[in-house]
Amino acid sequence: NSIFYLSEAMGVAQHHDAVSGTEKQEVAFDYAQRLSQGLSSGNLVINQAYSRLLPKAGQPPPSVPQLLCHLTNISECLTVQDQTRFTVTLWNPTIQPVLHHFRVPVTRAYTVRDPTGQPILSELIPVSDQTKKIPGRTSTANNDLVFRASLPALGFNTYYFEAKTEEEPAKAQVKITH
Amino acid sequence: NEECILQNQNVRVEIDAQGNLGHIINLKKSLAVEFHNQGFYWYQSFPGNNSRSEFQASGAYIFRPVSADPQPVSTTRTITCIKAENVQSARIVFNDWASQEIILYDEAEYAEVEWTVGPIPVNDNIGKEIILRYDTDVNSGNKFYTDANGREVLERTRDYRPTWNYTVVETVAGNYYPVNSRIWIKDQDKQFTILTDRSEGGSSIHNGSVELMLHRRMLYDDALGVGEALNEAAFGQGLVVRGRHVLFLESPAASAAYHRIGAQRMYMHPVATYALIPQSYPSYS
């Protein structure tokens, strides 16, 4: 029943046209709080599912929690932005395989490995000044790491990020003109 | 003063050195659409007097611009052109509170526009309603198409209702419709479709034009029950909003196959979760 909190919050929000502004500001805050609590509860379900899906056969489930980042649209994911190593697991809910370009806001350069362990093309794209000055943004990430993920139908792939320890020659060229 | 040309295997987007979107070209189908004055505009909200309908203010329930001619948010803009292998983009800044990034990913069959609007300034005591307008050479006449809550797409005819004799009073608001997921215009050769990442209001006020309402900030209540102006000043300065439009240029016959798949990609996008891993890669693998 853990997803009930989110489905109920969504139901309340949709029933009351919560995105339209036809409520007092205090009520808008309440909708936002309900959605936030629902998302937190939903994250527990995601972790329960991945604890079954991620372990290799015969091994215990990993104790590493899977976290959500809700502010990647303003290039903010404080949990991972300057970590030495982290993974990004992408779940494809559609019944077709998809290719999807994905952005991870970071403060440093990383090598990205696909699920087979092969390093893949990833490029650091600078975060715009307009994004940096958005009120409430606290991230110090100056770049988005852009890579292309290939995902199976109704399934997932995990990409492994490892910080580059020394100046490695950039394989990809990013050209910027003003 | 070079143009900023974004091009992949399928799509070419031409933006001039002043930051004006010029053309989007479907390279495989040899279709091109020309744009004029694409960008952000604002309508002045009618202040009203909070009582009767003819004096009703523009507010949460009511879109009621003072003038039918929206004003551009700026007369100049700056552009930054970024080219990499995975992605190419043009960041176009109109002013302190309105900017867009036109994005083309490798192998994509569409262009994206990521728009950022806000906080809308209201220190001149004028409520403002911000649109992003695409004026094209598509000969769409007075017809455009919007979806109805993601279900049937309906043909809309400007200044017309199919079931009664319509008297035009509100020339702009009277032609606005909900855009829950998509809006398009078309002529015999080409169809220009926009997918939205959220419900917006939209219309085609002129032949070849599509506009979508992105953000509103008003100083008066429209007296329909909220009792507060749609101001969102709780944090002192109004909200910043950011969203995306996905643009398809296709033939009318082929468009549905593209915008339906594109919509599913957008609304059922992959769910990302992050985990901090203590092991180095050899140990992890």
- B103-131 confidence digits (pLDDT tens): 999 999 999 999 999 999 999 999 999 99
How many angstroms separate the CA of residue B57 from the nearest CA in chain A?
14
- pLDDT at position B182: 96
**CB < 8 Å to B120, chain A:** none
Mean pLDDT of chain B: 93
User: Tens of pLDDT along A15-43?
Assistant: 998 877 889 999 999 999 999 999 999 99
CB contact under 8 A, B270 and A102: yes
* Interchain contact, A93 vs B240, CB within 8 Å: no
B-chain residues near A50 (CB < 8 A): 273
pLDDT over 90 at B89, yes or no: yes
Count other Cβ atoms within 10 Å, centred on residue B113.
Answer: 21
Enumerate the residues of chain B whose CB falls inside 8 A of the CB of residue A146: 84, 86-87
pLDDT band per the 50, 70, 90 thresholds, residue A65: very high
User: Do B20 and B117 form a contact (C-beta atoms < 8 A)?
Assistant: no
Q: Is the pLDDT of residue B1 over 70?
A: no
- Residue contact B234–A25, C-beta within 8 A: yes
- DSSP-assigned beta bridge partners for residue B274: A67, A88
User: Looking at residue B88, what is its pLDDT?
Assistant: 97
For chain A, say whether B270 makes contact (Cβ under 8 Å): yes
Which of B61, B83, B274 is opposite residue A22, by nearest beta carbon?
A: B61
Cβ contact A104:A142 at 8 Å: no
Mean pLDDT of B17-33: 96
Res. A156: pLDDT tops 90: yes
Selected residues 185-224 of chain B with any CB under 8 Å from a CB in chain A: 198-199, 216, 224
In this model, does residue B19 exceed pLDDT 70?
yes
Asked if B149 reaches chain A (Cβ–Cβ under 8 Å), the answer is: no
Record: contact A73-B242, CB cut-off 8 A: yes
- Tell me the percentage of chain B whose pLDDT exceeds 70: 97
User: Which residues on B lie below 8 Å from A56 (Cβ)?
Assistant: none
Task: Find the CB nearest B274 among A80, A148, A172.
Answer: A80
Before B119, cis peptide (omega within 30)? Answer: yes
With DSSP H G I counted as helix, E B as strand and the rest as coil, what are the percentages for chain A, rounded to 5?
A: 25, 30, 45
**Residue A133 amino acid letter:** K
SS3 content of chain B, % helix, strand, coil (to 5): 10, 45, 45
A3 neighbourhood in chain B, CB within 8 Å: none
Token digits for A163?
A: 């910080």
Please say if the pLDDT value at position B10 is more than 70.
Answer: yes
Q: Is B271 on the interface with A (CB under 8 A)?
A: yes
Tell me which chain A residues have a C-beta less than 8 angstroms from the C-beta of B6: none
Whether B275 has its CB under 8 Å from any CB of chain A: the answer is yes
**Residue A174: band (very low, low, confident or very high) from pLDDT cuts 50, 70, 90:** confident
User: Are the beta carbons of B87 and A146 separated by less than 8 Å?
Assistant: yes
What pLDDT is recorded for position A111? 95
Give the C-alpha distances (Å, rounded to integers) separating A98 from B7, B39, B46, B259: 21, 31, 46, 15
- Cα-to-chain-centroid distance, residue B225: 28
Query: A59-68, B1-10, B86-95, B275-284 — which one is most confidently predicted on average?
Result: B86-95
Read off the pLDDT band of B245 (50, 70, 90).
very high
B261-272 residues labelled b (16+ CB within 10 A) or e (exposed): ebbebbeebbeb
Interface contact B275-A68, CB threshold 8 A: no
Amino acid symbol at B112: E
Question: Which ipTM did the prediction report?
Answer: 0.94
Separation CA A117–CA B224 (nearest Å): 59
Spell out the residues 6+ positions from residue A59 whose beta carbon is closer than 8 angstroms to its own: none
Cβ-based burial of B187 (10 A; exposed 0-12, middle 13-18, buried ≥19): middle
The token duo for A127 is 């975060």
Distance from the Cα of A177 to chain B's closest Cα (Å) equals: 5
Q: What pLDDT score was predicted for residue B50?
A: 62
Cβ distance A57 to B237 under 8 Å? Answer: no
Number of Cβ pairs < 8 A linking chain A and chain B: 170
> Are the beta carbons of B242 and A67 separated by less than 8 Å?
no
**d(Cα A17, Cα B179) in Å, to the nearest integer?**
14
pLDDT for A177 equals 87
Q: How far apart are the first and last CA of chain A?
A: 52
Q: What average pLDDT does the segment B38-47 reach?
A: 95
pLDDT at A60 over 90: no
pLDDT band at A62 (very low <50, low <70, confident <90, very high): low
pLDDT given for residue A17 in this prediction: 86
Nearest to A33 by CA among A45, A18, A47: A18
